[in-house]
Structure 1
Amino acid sequence: MKIGIGVDTGGTYTDAVAYDFDSASVLACAKALTTRDDLSLGISRALDALPERYLKEASMASLSTTLATNACVEGKGRRAKLLFIGVGKDTLDRVGSGYGDMSAEELFFCDDMGTFDGTVVASPDWEALLSDAGEWLRDADSLGVVEMFAVKNGGACEKAAKEFFSSRRGIPVVCGSELFSGLDSVQRGSGTLLNAKLVPIIDEFLAAIEKSFRDRGVNAPVVVVRSDGSLMSESFSRLRPVETILCGPAASVLGGMKLASRPNAVIVDMGGTTTDISLVRAGVPVKVTEGISIGAWRTFVKGVFIDTFGLGGDSAVRVRNGRLSVETGRVLPISLLAKNEPSVLEKLRDLLKTKSPHTQPIHEFFCLLKDITSASNYSEEEKRFCAALKNGPLDIREAAAQSGTDIYHLKTSRLETEGVIIRSGLTPTDIMHIRGDFSGYDSEAARLTAMFVMRCLELDETSEDELTRFCESVYDAVKKKLYCNIVRVLLQDTYPELRREPPDAQLSRLIERGWEAAGRDEKPYFSFNFLTSAALVGIGAPIHIFLPDVAKALGTECVIPENAGVANAVGAIVGNISVTTEVEIHPNHTPGGIRGYTVHTPEGNFVSEQRSDAEKIALEAASSEAVKEARRRGLSGEISVTAALKAARGTTGSIDYIDLGSIAEATAIGAFSL
């Protein structure tokens, strides 16, 4: 029996499975709360719930995580900087906002000494550049470097910059050309900066895994799921954490496919922080071709098509403008906080005694995740605030008093964004406690908090019937959000032109009307329906509560497979390694026609007089690079390589087409040796 251990660390839960490769079955599974202040604690608790002999006998361990996904969706990440070589600030000012959350403080610009054809005239003066950028780099945890013409010259200046800054500053440095081969330098920059922001997050995750495995005698080689569902080695993922931005969702696709066995499916994975929607058509996951977009970020990362949005068991339930709102941000369920901090319950009781509503969420608490009181890159006010939280959670009014301000001027956004503190408040998880759908935490705290929110909505908090209706309205809001997003994804898949911009107000309202109409029994004078023949496959702990009604509204079946709660961990262990690389061939156009061909390889540029010779060089280079990349990702066994040419043509007003060259594409596939 060949055993693999799959581990998935999400924003709320950490799952672990023991998987038998010979019988393709789950031997055991476990779930534990993710412990954000020390990830190894939650990972260890999940592993300890598996039979010890499976851990000792494991021949492979595979990991997935939504930590990077959640960081993108919630706009979080560590401090990173990006050096742009050859891309001007005016270009970023003009188009940068469409590519990601790149602030001016994170960017530094210097002139490029190269040309579009791949010629490198000279390198920048690195010593002078360091002198100019020294203060800018002072608080950086990592650095990304992107050169405008790197795709054409093999990233010559990027590699020189990496060598220089790594040795002089002692921080991780990643080149854009190591990550992406797309021509758009701004999009390369967006993905490279995101990669730099994620390096410390993935390092922390892998260090926690290493500790948990070491303490339990797990000696199996460790691999990590990439965003396309394939695998890479642990060491490779440390350098390219951007490859993991959808590794958790990708694992959920693989796990959902394996567990549900439906050829056509909409896989809906609801976690604590986000919900991921993916599509399976004729047994094959739908993939993105132009690079993953997630949160505010547009990247060149290739992967399984995943649409990720903020909705989960830990979504904040608040009052906005007098109306109930299930928001995209994650908060700690108040029932969980009260279980661990008994003083919270007494404060909630006191809050209910006031008999007064409030326009601000004064029922919410702040909790400390990381101690930054001795850090130099935070303000004294921020450090004082965190020092006060060392003694336990503070409600918003207490937090404001400790900071010497009021609740309207309390500034905590940076601390929340950087994962130093987290809020705790009312969530769908708390509503589950009130309704009896879940009972792991403190139900009284959930009930008291719900009553205060009801008061702010001008509902009768003393009425049990009113409380029941309030809980139903929260559930309905979650279902409606699920329905609207599934319909949006299916519309964009059916009509790709809708992907260019989000649905306008009229279409959004029409989708909402579709949900409202689906809940009515009477037949109206005129109606419409959004329907699908694809099964809705639900995975993730809370999905069984919400998805059946959504499937009914869409006229299809709902499948909640066995082990659905740990599908991500199952998906993590069933993948393989797949690498696709491209090498471009460009014809050298002159007034007298084409005079030779330039092949742009990772090792440099080659010029050939004959197209056939250029194509041969390109195919060999692409195949060689695919194999090298597969080895870098950790593959040591047999590798299968396929290669093909793709022509690129453009049209003009005077002739039928113009030869723009071609692309040699090679794919290397292999499985880890067990």
Structure 2
Amino acid sequence: MSTYRIGIDVGGTHTDAVLLDQDNQVISETKSSTTEDVETGIYTAMHEVITKANVSPEHIRYAMLGTTHCTNAIVERKGLNNIAAVRIGAPATLAVKPLVGVPDDLRAALGKHVYLVRGGHEFDGREIVDLDEAHLYKIANEVKGEVDSIAITSVFSPVSTDHEERAKKIFQEVLGEDVAISLSAEIGSVGLLERENATILNASVIRVAKTAADGFINALKSENIDAKVFFGQNDGTLMSVDYAVRYPIFTVACGPTNSLRGASYLGNLSDAIVVDVGGTTSDVGVLIHSFPRESSLEVEIGGARTNFRMPDLISIGLGGGTIIHAEENEAFSIGPDSVGYRLPEKAMIFGGDTLTTTDVAVALGKVDLGDASKVAHLDKSWLNKVYEKMVELVEEAIDKMKTTADPIPVILVGGGSILLPTELKGASRVLRPEHSGVANAIGSAISQVSGQVERIYLLDEVGREHALESAKSEAKATAVNAGADPETLVIVDVEDVPLAYLPGNATRVRVKAAGELQRNA
């Protein structure tokens, strides 16, 4: 019996859907407008892609969703959980309070119940002071009925998780097993304040993630599909629904990473630069061994600095709906504003009154779309200057992402990629593969499941071999928890960085394991 998988990616402009067979061949694809409530757009795209394919619903066994729900909730400060933020680190960390440097409106939403508790560890795993369990019991009783999600951050918990784990048990004992608890050691890396912010944000979007998951599962049920459901995460891999509801922060920026994974698959390349051109922006990222290169910088989400893993991307204000502003003396500016999903009504080629990048490409005969006669009156030499500048913006972004001067393959994906030429400076070759318009949905459908850990080890005590083996087995266990088949697991990335400022020959080890989906669905 043939089995199929459905991949859906929700972007700011479009919701894309694809149906793949068991050999990952595209059976049908569709693009529909993203709706304000998001769910309607998902229903529409799913219904269209299944109807087009004429496939029996019971043969669809896997469903993958890449979504911007959690990012939007943080940016818009909407639908967030009532949280308590508990930092275990007194008396060592009293100088800088939790949520320092976070925008006032976000602090007002998330900072109602903030607590500092005695405890925490040194960089080498020694306790600073004993954990103040009595204080934790007092806090738990205080927040009972007031909060539905708790963020626990302990000093140097990537070295020792003991105090976070004990605190979690106390909160569960008082508040019951249903309360959502986020532990910083499972989310961020070393660096207390950024890890704490990431954990607080994670705790704040658990309800949003659960709503999105329920909405997706209900959409599937409405089509009589009983599939195993996975969410895209921001390293270009998948996680099970249970895992996604525990760690929703990992869905942030999964759209661009899905596009990178889809581009790798469609272009049959493991190392390349990917330009994903949407309706409003173009995201430029780098593939290394078929996975997105990770950013080594702190990342701001909704104004809060965090340090959990994120893809290394440059985003430029150039998309299919970007507005061209004509100025005096033939001068012009490109964007950054865009007509977005209103392109079919606003662009000149569709009878609108707004000059967009798509109009420029059509007027120059580079793209066959809409009614070219509506832009035939525009001055060609001026349009050529605009087009050259559009291409230059992309070439500059590609150049910034390269680590050497050597030419490198470039893969163009996304609905707006038809605007760009197949020759670009700095590219050894430029590919625009078939189905590139829905590369993000394909990326979510074909992705593997991964697990990643980051820990500090004192090599004088444990030795390098033992440290690496311990991190690898922990990464594999995390991947299995996220829904990977243990038989297919491989280690896809190992990084160990000596920490010269810490004694004991300390090293930060980061390991990532990835495997195929568990097929016992």
Equivalent residue in structure 2 for 1:207, among 211, 214, 217: 214
Matched with 2:500 is: 650
Partner of 1:28: 28
The structural deviation recorded for 1:270 is 1.4
Q: With the length of structure 1 as denominator, give the TM-score of the two structures.
A: 0.61
Cα separation, 2, equivalents of 1:42 and 1:286: 25
Q: Which residue of 1 aligns with 2:60?
A: 58
The whole-number CA distance in structure 1 between the counterparts of 2:325 and 2:139 is 48
Secondary structure at 2:265 match in 1? helix
Maintained 8 Å contact 1:580/1:665: yes
Distance 2:266 2:215 in 1: 28
SS in 2 for 1:585: strand
**Rounded Cα–Cα distance in structure 2 between residues aligned with 1:319 and 1:578:** 48
Q: For residue 421 of structure 2, give the secondary structure of its aligned residue in structure 1.
A: helix
Change (3 A) 1:542 1:625: same
Could you tell me which residue of structure 1 aligns to residue 252 of structure 2? 245
| CA deviation after TM superposition for structure 1 residue 171, in Å | 6.7
Task: In structure 1, give the amino acid aligned to 2:396.
Answer: C
* Letter of the structure 1 residue corresponding to residue 414 of structure 2: G
Counterpart residue type for residue 287 of structure 1: R
Closer, same or farther: CA 337–177 of 1 in aligned 2, 3 Å:
farther
Cα distance in 1, alignment partners of residues 381 and 134 from structure 2: 66
Paired with 1:471 and 1:300, the residues of 2 have a C-alpha distance of: 43
Moved more, 156-165 or 218-227: 156-165
Whole-angstrom CA distance in 2 between matches of 1:636 and 1:555: 37
Find the partner of 2:432 among 560, 564, 586.
560
> Is 1:569 matched up with 2:441?
yes
Q: 1:60-209, aligned counterparts within 5 Å?
A: 60-68=62-70, 78-79=79-80, 83=85, 85=87, 86=89, 90-91=95-96, 97=101, 104-105=107-108, 106-107=110-111, 108-116=114-122, 117-119=125-127, 120-123=130-133, 125-126=135-136, 129=139, 143-154=150-161, 156-157=163-164, 160=167, 164=171, 167=175, 172-180=180-188, 182-209=189-216
Query: What does 1:132-531 correspond to in 2, within 5 Å?
Result: 143-154=150-161, 156-157=163-164, 160=167, 164=171, 167=175, 172-180=180-188, 182-262=189-269, 264-280=271-287, 284-285=290-291, 287-288=293-294, 290=296, 293=299, 298-302=305-309, 304-315=311-322, 325-328=333-336, 332=340, 334=342, 428=357, 464-465=377-378, 478-490=390-402, 493-494=403-404
Change (3 A) 1:132 1:334: same
Shift, 1:210, TM fit: 1.3
Distance 1:27 1:212 in 2: 20
Structure 1: 5+ residue runs without aligned partners?
A: 340-344, 350-424, 451-462, 495-530, 588-593, 598-610, 653-657
Looking at structure 1, the residues matched to 126 and 293 of structure 2 have their Cα atoms a distance apart, in angstroms, of 31
Cα distance change, pair 32–647 in 1 and its aligned pair in 2 (3 A)? closer
For residues 155 and 39 of structure 1, do their structure 2 counterparts lie closer, same or farther at Cα, with a shift above 3 Å needed? farther
- TM-superposed CA distance for 1:141, in Å, is 8.2
- Alpha-carbon displacement from aligned partner over 1:333-391 (angstroms, at most 9, x marks no partner): 5555789xxxxx9xx99xxxxxxxxxxxxxxxxxxxxxxxxxxxxxxxxxxxxxxxxxx
CA distance, structure 1, for counterparts of residue 133 and residue 282 of structure 2: 46
Is the contact made by 2:263 and 2:443 (CA closer than 8 Å) also made in structure 1?
yes
The Cα of 1:301 is off from its aligned counterpart by 3.0
1:483 CA displacement: 3.0
Residues 201-246 of structure 1: CA deviation (Å, up to 9, x unaligned):
4334323321221111111211122222222102211221221223
Tell me the SS of whatever aligns to 2:118. coil
RMSD over aligned Cα, in angstroms? 4.7
Alpha-carbon deviation of 1:538?
0.7
* Separation in 2, partners of 1:426, 1:147: 53
Shift in Å at residue 146 of structure 1?
2.2
- The answer to whether the Cα contact below 8 Å between 1:269 and 1:543 also exists between their aligned partners in 2 is yes
Where structure 2 has 5 or more consecutive residues not aligned to the other structure, the ranges are: none
Q: Distance in 2 between matches of 1:331 and 1:155?
A: 51
Q: Say if 1:104 and 1:35 are closer, same or farther in 2 by CA, change over 3 A.
A: closer
- Give how far 1:318 is off: 6.5
Alpha-carbon shift at residue 586 of structure 1 (Å)? 3.1
Q: Which of 635, 641, 648 pairs up with 2:484? A: 635
Shift of the 471–89 alpha-carbon distance from structure 1 to 2, 3 Å rule, reads farther
Corresponding residue for residue 19 of structure 1: 20
1-structure distance, mates of 2:4, 2:206 = 30
Shift in CA distance, 173/312, structure 1 to aligned 2, threshold 3 Å: farther
Aligned partners of 1:623 and 1:641 also within 8 Å: no
Number of paired residues? Answer: 496
Q: 1:128 to 1:314 in 2, by over 3 A?
A: farther
Contact 1:285–1:304 under 8 Å retained in 2: no
Q: Secondary structure at the match of 1:37?
A: coil
Distance 1:102 1:82 in 2: 16
Tell me by how many angstroms 1:266 deviates.
1.6
CA contact (8 A) 1:147 1:176 kept: yes
Larger Rg belongs to: 1
Q: Which residue of 2 aligns with 1:353?
A: none
Question: Structure 2: how far apart are the matches of 1:555 and 1:249?
Answer: 20
Give the CA deviation at 1:185. 0.7
2:6 maps to 1:5? yes
CA drift at 1:267: 0.7
SS of the residue corresponding to residue 151 of structure 1 reads coil
Matched position secondary structure for 2:182: strand
**1:474–1:203 distance in 2 versus 1, CA, 3 Å:** farther
Q: Is the 1:15–1:30 Cα contact (8 Å) retained in structure 2?
A: yes
Give, in angstroms, the shift of residue 659 of structure 1: 3.7
Sort the Cα spacing of 1:312 and 1:193 in 2 relative to 1 into closer, same or farther, 3 A.
Answer: farther
Amino acid of the residue matched to residue 672 of structure 1? L
Q: Are the structure 2 counterparts of residues 645 and 149 from structure 1 closer, same or farther at C-alpha, using a change threshold of 3 Å?
A: closer
The 1:185/1:259 distance shift into structure 2, 3 A limit, reads same
Q: Which residue of 1 aligns with 2:421?
A: 548
Q: CA deviation at 1:564?
A: 0.5
> Normalising by structure 2, what TM-score?
0.76
- How much has 1:563 moved relative to structure 2? 0.5
Using the TM superposition, give the Cα deviation of residue 579 of structure 1 relative to its aligned residue in structure 2, in angstroms. 2.1
Shift of 1:253: 1.3
- Percent identity, aligned pairs only, is 22
Displacement of 1:34: 1.4
1:39 aligned partner: 39
Corresponding letter in the other structure for 1:534: I
* Structure 2 residue aligned with 1:458: none
Q: Is the 2:262–2:440 contact (alpha carbons within 8 Å) kept by the matching residues of 1?
A: yes
Please state whether the residue corresponding to 1:206 is helix, strand or coil: helix
Contact 1:249 1:269 in 2 (8 A): yes
Q: Distance in 2 between the 1:67 and 1:474 partners?
A: 35
